[in-house]
C-alpha cells in the first residue's frame, strides 16, 4: 500500500541521505525506556524539532512518529480512566451491598472489580505497550528501504 500523494503531504519515498535521520526519528520513542511516561513523547518531539527543517520527508516522518505516540498516550489515558471508573463502581457496589446486609453480593462485586481489572485493563495495557514496539520495527524496515511510513490508529494532531 502506498501513501497518497498531494502537494501538501510528505513525499512517499526517502532519498538515501534522509534514511538515517528518519530511522532515528522512528526509534526515538525508545527514550521512553529511559524516561517512563514522557520519554516516548519527548523523543519524537525532539527528533522532529531537530530534523523538520532538513526536508519535507523528514518533517512528515517526524510528525507521523509524534502523532502516533500522542495517540497512544491518549488511548492509554482513556483506558485508564475507564478502567478506574469500572473498578470504582465495583468497589462502591460491593461496599453498598455489604452495608445493606448482603455480604455475599458485596464480596462478589469486590472480586468482580478485581477480575475486571485483570481481565480488561492489564491485557489492553499490554497491547498498548507491545503494539508501538512492533509498529516501530515495521517503520524502521520501511524507512530503511526508502519508503515513508504511516502508523495505523493515529490521530493526526500535528498536520
The pLDDT of residue 19 is 94
- Helix, strand, or coil here: 156? coil
C-alpha cell at 106: 458485596
Cα 81 from chain centroid (whole Å): 16
pLDDT, tens only, 72-108: 999 989 988 988 887 777 777 777 777 777 767 666 7
Give 21-75 pLDDT, tens digit per residue: 999 999 999 998 898 878 999 999 999 999 999 999 999 999 999 999 999 999 9
C-alpha–C-alpha distance, residues 140 and 21, integer Å: 11
- DSSP assignment of 2-43 equals -----TTSPPSB--HHHHHHHHHHHHGGGGGGTSTTTHHHHH
Q: What pTM was estimated for this model as a whole?
A: 0.82
Amino acid at each position: 500500500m502506498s501513501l497518497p500523494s498531494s502537494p501538501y503531504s510528505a513525499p512517499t519515498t526517502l532519498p538515501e541521505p534522509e534514511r538515517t535521520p528518519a530511522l532515528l526519528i522512528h526509534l526515538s520513542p525508545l527514550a521512553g525506556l529511559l524516561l517512563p511516561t514522557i520519554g516516548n513523547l519527548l523523543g519524537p518531539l525532539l527528533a522532529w524539532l531537530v530534523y523538520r527543517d532538513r526536508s519535507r520527508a523528514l518533517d512528515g516522518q517526524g510528525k507521523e512518529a509524534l502523532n502516533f505516540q500522542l495517540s497512544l498516550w491518549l488511548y492509554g489515558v482513556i483506558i485508564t480512566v475507564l478502567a478506574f471508573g469500572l473498578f470504582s463502581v465495583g468497589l462502591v457496589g460491593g461496599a453498598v451491598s455489604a452495608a445493606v446486609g448482603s455480604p455475599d453480593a458485596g464480596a462478589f462485586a469486590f472480586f468482580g472489580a478485581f477480575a475486571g481489572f485483570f481481565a480488561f485493563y492489564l491485557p489492553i495495557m499490554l497491547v498498548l505497550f507491545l503494539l508501538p514496539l512492533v509498529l516501530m520495527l515495521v517503520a524502521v524496515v520501511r524507512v530503511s528501504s526508502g519508503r515513508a511510513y504511516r502508523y495505523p490508529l493515529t490521530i493526526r494532531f500535528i498536520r
